[in-house]
Amino acid sequence: MLRKISAEELERIISERKEGEPLDLSGCLFEDLDLSGWDLRQINFDKSDFRNVRLNGADLSGCSASNAFFQGSSLRGTILQDAFLHSADFRYCDMTGADISGADIFAAALHGAALRGVTADERTKFYEPRCPMSGAFIGWKVCFGRRIVQLLIPADARRLQGTTYEIRVDKAKVLSIRTGDYSQSFTEAHSYVDENFWYRTGEWVRAESYETDRFTESGGGIHIWMDREAAIAYLG
């Protein structure tokens, strides 16, 4: 069970904090609070929930908030510089003008979030797509029976990538289908998700319904990886 912390208790904890002392507020519940403009730097908020919390203009620089829940909260102009935000849930948050310079947002959920004017830089991890946004490239996926499919993504294919290594494209050509150890080859394989979606060597595959929001990670499309080992590792 999450430990619920009021604004008064949080203010007391911060006021009693010694210079440079780390604060551990992981696994806490913050609900119906206005923390706009607060100094919340260098605090561990891992696995904490922020429910209907206003963090507008608050400074969360250097915080850790992995697996934290912010869904529906307001983070307008919030400073998240160098924050560790692995798998944080920001769905439907207003993050207009937020600063994520140097932050690590691997696997953070951003579907439906307002991201206008977000500031990122070359140190920000997993905000900008890592896949080639132009030209052809090779991709990989694992199909039923752990058959490894090698795909050619053509230059005119649409491609999107959110905050993980997974990429979604709208079409591809099947180059080969093999076992993980290359000992066997196959002429066809079908998707784990849709048993009626087949990959056949030498043929093109196309996504009937392609999701154009890059942060809808499970949206329609052909889900691939740039690296063969990463595709295999996805299924464990």
Range in 118-122, 201-205, 225-229 with the lowest mean pLDDT: 225-229
Instruction: Give the pLDDT band (50/70/90) at residue 236.
Output: low
Q: Give tens-digit pLDDT for 149-173.
A: 999 999 999 999 999 999 999 999 9
The total of other beta-carbon atoms located within 10 Å of residue 122's CB is 7
Q: Which helix (H) or strand (E) holds 51?
A: strand 49-51
Q: Give tens-digit pLDDT for 50-100.
A: 999 999 999 999 999 999 999 989 999 999 999 999 999 999 999 999 999
Range in 122-126, 137-141, 190-194 with the lowest mean pLDDT: 190-194
Confidence (pLDDT) at 194: 84
The beta strand positions in 58-217, using DSSP E, are 137-143, 147-153, 159-161, 167-169, 171-178, 188-190, 198-200, 204-206
Confidence (pLDDT) at 157: 97
Confidence (pLDDT) at 217: 85
Distance CA 77, CA 163 (A): 21
What is the residue extent of each domain of the chain?
A: 1-127, 137-234
CATH of the structural domain 1-127, one choice from 1.20.140.10, 2.30.40.10, 2.160.20.80, 3.40.50.970: 2.160.20.80
Distance CA 6, CA 12 (A): 10
Report in angstroms the alpha-carbon separations of 91 from 36, 43, 74, 157.
Answer: 19, 22, 11, 27
Confidence (pLDDT) at 195: 84
Distance CA 189, CA 128 (A): 32
What does the pLDDT average to over 13-42?
Answer: 94
What does the pLDDT average to over 211-221?
Answer: 91
pTM: 0.91
What does the pLDDT average to over 113-128?
Answer: 97
Confidence (pLDDT) at 18: 87
Q: Does residue 109 surpass a pLDDT of 80?
A: yes
